[in-house]
Chain A
Amino acid sequence: MTTKKNQPTHPLDSLVRTDRIPHIWCPGCGVGTAFSSCLIAMKSSGIDLQKTTMVSGIGCSARGPGYTNLDSYHTTHGRAIPYATGMKLANPQLNVVVFSGDGDLFAIGGNHFIHAARRNIDLTVVCVNNLNYGMTGGQVAATTPSLSKTTTTPQGNPEPPFNLPLLAFASGATYVARWTILHTRDLTKSIEEALQRRGFSFIEVLAPCPTGYGRRNRERPLDALRFYQEKSIIKNDAHPADIILDYQKGITLGTFVDVEKPTFTDIYEKTCRLDPAACM
């Protein structure tokens, strides 16, 4: 490492397995920025980092937890949320953060997402949405915009994408936000808030995938950032049904849901633990 003599270390190095850096993410990929924001938020939120664990499934974003020196679990494709659910229920003292991608959390893992949100498991779910499957080379995902080209939709995507914040809201998430990697301060603040909230929190982070998505849709990393800059409309508290993610019309960003509801554990303790007869 050619850090200059007497150069102070990077402020996030205390949370990173520096012997594993540089990481695997491509030049211009946005996962690293979302990852840094997550680490900054963890530091600034004041949560006990020894009691904090990061869980992921499979994919580019899912490699994130492996770069922290926190307890981290890189599990099977789509199954980060049920794995995290088991961890949280077995030890409610843990702060459990799921950091994974859109393909992992919303295609193969979509069922787990809606059920964890419905149950209001106390998790913080950060989804890096790069609009495609990056790790396998740019295939269509449940988030790929209609008509976009991917390796498995060479003529253009015939399917409409999910509106992830709406899905999270409809499923019962108590904190829902969407930002891009350009909006690092808002993003970091959002993750910080989500870490401090009890309940199922969901943050979607739009990020460029120059190698998979960008290459086939004439979008270089800086084009994506410019697009985020020009087309973003921040509307905090907007109803998730009204928010858009459209290359022509724009992208709605903000914190859309921030409510309090008893978590699964709260209700379990009340209904099952104290009065066993209630379980009969």
Chain B
Amino acid sequence: MKFWRVPLDAIEVEVTQGVVHIIEDRCKGCGFCIVYCPRDVLEESPHFNAKGYHTPRVKKEGACVNCHYCETICPDLAIYSVEAQPASS
């Protein structure tokens, strides 16, 4: 992403990273999470789940900022994110 103005402390601010979890069997393929993810992390998977729906899948590993929006808009309790463990230094 390109910014026309960058905050002075941008380098110091740690952006939370999230890991998306998908419970495939609960998904009904509405696509809400895919369309409304603010970081465009998800895409429709060509794969069908047990009920015949296309579930979402992560297309940009590491792009999730753990905002939980997918978790709240999902009508099926089928997706959620947890904070990624910071890489051990």
Contact = CB atoms under 8 A, between A and B. Distances in A.
Let me know if chains A and B touch directly in the complex, using CB atoms closer than 8 Å.
yes
Interface of A: 1-4, 7-8, 10-13, 16, 21-23, 25-33, 35-37, 40, 181-182, 184-185, 188, 221-222, 225
B43 interface: no
Nearest to A221: B30
Contacts of A7: 21
B21 A36 contact: no
Contact of B77 (A2, A4, A36, A188): A36
A184 B79 CA distance: 15
B52 to A, nearest CB: 10
Given A2-B50, A21-B77, 14 more contacts: A1-B23, A2-B23, A4-B21, A7-B21, A22-B28, A23-B76, A27-B28, A29-B30, A32-B76, A33-B32, A35-B75, A182-B36, A182-B73, A222-B31
By Cβ-Cβ distance, the 10 closest A-B pairs, closest first, are A32-B75, A27-B28, A184-B72, A28-B30, A33-B75, A22-B26, A27-B30, A10-B80, A184-B73, A2-B25
A11 B71 contact: yes
Nearest to A35: B75
User: Which interface residue of A11, A27, A28, A37 has the most chain B CB atoms within 10 A?
Assistant: A27
B82 A8 contact: yes
B37 interface: no
A198 B61 CA distance: 45
Contacts of A26: 28
A37 B72 contact: yes
A56 to B, nearest CB: 17
A3 B77 CA distance: 13
Interface in B4-28: 21, 23-26, 28
A185 B78 CA distance: 18
Interface string B21-54: 1011110111110011000000000000011010
A23 B29 CA distance: 14
Given A2-B25, A22-B25, A30 B50 contact: no
Given A8-B82, A182-B36, A36 B28 contact: no
A184 B25 CA distance: 23
11 contacts: A10-B21, A10-B23, A21-B77, A22-B51, A26-B28, A32-B77, A36-B71, A36-B72, A40-B72, A184-B69, A185-B72
Contacts of B80: 10-11
Nearest to B81: A11
A40 to B, nearest CB: 6
B58 interface: no
A1 B29 CA distance: 17
A21 B28 CA distance: 12
B65 interface: no
B19 to A, nearest CB: 9
A29 B75 contact: yes
Given A2-B50, A10-B80, A221-B30, A36 B74 contact: yes
B11 to A, nearest CB: 28
Contacts of B74: 32-33, 36
